[in-house]
Amino acid sequence: MSQRFALFADPMIAVLVIATLAGFILPATGEAREPAQWVTNVAIFALFLVNGIRVARAEIAKGVINWRFFLPLMLFVFGAMALMGLGLSIIAAAILPPMVAIGFLYLGTLPSTIQSAISYTTLAQGNVALSVVGAALINIAGVFVTAPLFAALGGGALAQLGTDAIVRIGLILILPFAIGQAIQGWARPWVLDRKAKVVWLDRIVIGIAVYVAFSGAVEQGIGSMFGLAGWTALLALVLVFLALANASAWFASGVLRYPLADRKAFLFAASQKSVAIGAPLAAILFAPEVAGFVIAPVLLYHLLQLVIAAPLASLLASRTD
């Protein structure tokens, strides 16, 4: 099978599909909701502890120094993409449930996904080093930027963005990442030696967060709110968002006069949105009955970006100019 169809073997797709279906078929509701939320919080803490160990401090320093690449990438991901999300959320509000429509704004404020950005930059024969550093730094920034940016652009009424949310973000996301950074001198080799197993930690934690989120949405009747027309509209709007993201990122990298290899790195680091941040953060920011609605566009975007990125990367690999 050719490279461009290898994405269908990606276990992350199966994890997202299974977690979503489990949320619909066997939702954690009623008395099961609170224990499920505790399991989610512990799993997210473990994930960000490992992330803190994995991201080398030297890589962070390199990204900060290379401001000509990193600063435009930051502005694109948290500026242009956030505004696109805001515009699409306004359009979506006319045809979709409000909690799903605001999910486009939430999607626009999320950081890049590290694994996909690196994988497809590699497949496209782009600058992998830039992709690694850029996506990693954007992910770190997203922990601090996404929530206040989402609130500033109009999502604060739906999210729980008070003192409690700030404390939860600090304790469940920032604290474990900081601990991971502090102990990475001796822990990082151990984690890197078990890279394949650690990747499954990412997938399992994301799956747990998605399952709990959709359980809450099912309890609130998401199945009865959506007909075929609603799902079709959601799919169409996500495809529009994805097309705008890829076209705008490629155009921006050209305006910035990056070398071709750097343009490829910018494209995938800028347009690939992270469900690894989106699902856990949604579990902290939103009530369980809201989170499943909000992350619906995020999950669909994540799946479609995999479908589109693989053939796009294969096409770009043939470009050497």
Q: What is the pLDDT of residues 159-181, one digit of tens each?
A: 555 556 667 777 887 888 889 88
Q: Residue 62: CB partners within 8 Å, gap ≥ 6?
A: 133
Average pLDDT of span 296-319: 84
- If you search the block for the tokens 């989402």, which residue do you land on? 150
Which two tokens mark 284?
């902290």
Percent of all residues in the chain with a pLDDT value above 90, rounded to a whole number: 22
CB-based contacts of 257-260 (< 8 A; 24+ apart in sequence): 258/69, 259/127, 260/126, 260/319, 260/320, 260/321
What distance in Å separates the CA atoms of residue 269 and residue 163, rounded to the nearest whole number? 32
DSSP state of 273: B
Q: What mean pLDDT is predicted for residues 213-218?
A: 77
- Give the model's confidence band at 3: pLDDT under 50 very low, under 70 low, under 90 confident, else very high: very low
Q: How far separated are the first and last CA of the chain, in Å rounded?
A: 28
Distance between CA 221 and CA 226 in Å, rounded?
9
- Give the domains, in start order, of the chain with CATH numbers: 33-316 (1.20.1530.20)
pTM metric for this prediction: 0.80
pLDDT at 217 over 80: no
Could you read off the pLDDT of 125-149 as tens digits, one per residue?
Answer: 888 777 777 777 788 888 888 888 9
Q: What is the pLDDT of residue 290?
A: 80
Determine contact, residues 107/279, Cβ cutoff 8 Å: no
The string of pLDDT tens digits covering residues 40-73 is 888 888 888 887 887 777 766 766 677 888 899 9
- pLDDT for the residue numbered 165: 66
Question: Can you tell me the distance from the alpha carbon of 282 to that of 291, in angstroms, rounded to the nearest whole number?
Answer: 6
Residue 317 confidence class, pLDDT cut points 50, 70, 90: confident
Q: Which of 2-6, 49-53, 105-109 has the lowest mean pLDDT?
A: 2-6
139 or 264, greater pLDDT: 264
pLDDT band at 5 (very low <50, low <70, confident <90, very high): very low
Mean pLDDT score, 306-317: 83
Q: Give the type of residue at 46.
A: A
Q: Which amino acid is at 248?
A: S
Is residue 4's pLDDT more than 50?
no
Choose between 21 and 154: higher pLDDT: 21
pLDDT at 256: 93
Q: Which residue has the higher pLDDT, 276 or 152?
A: 152
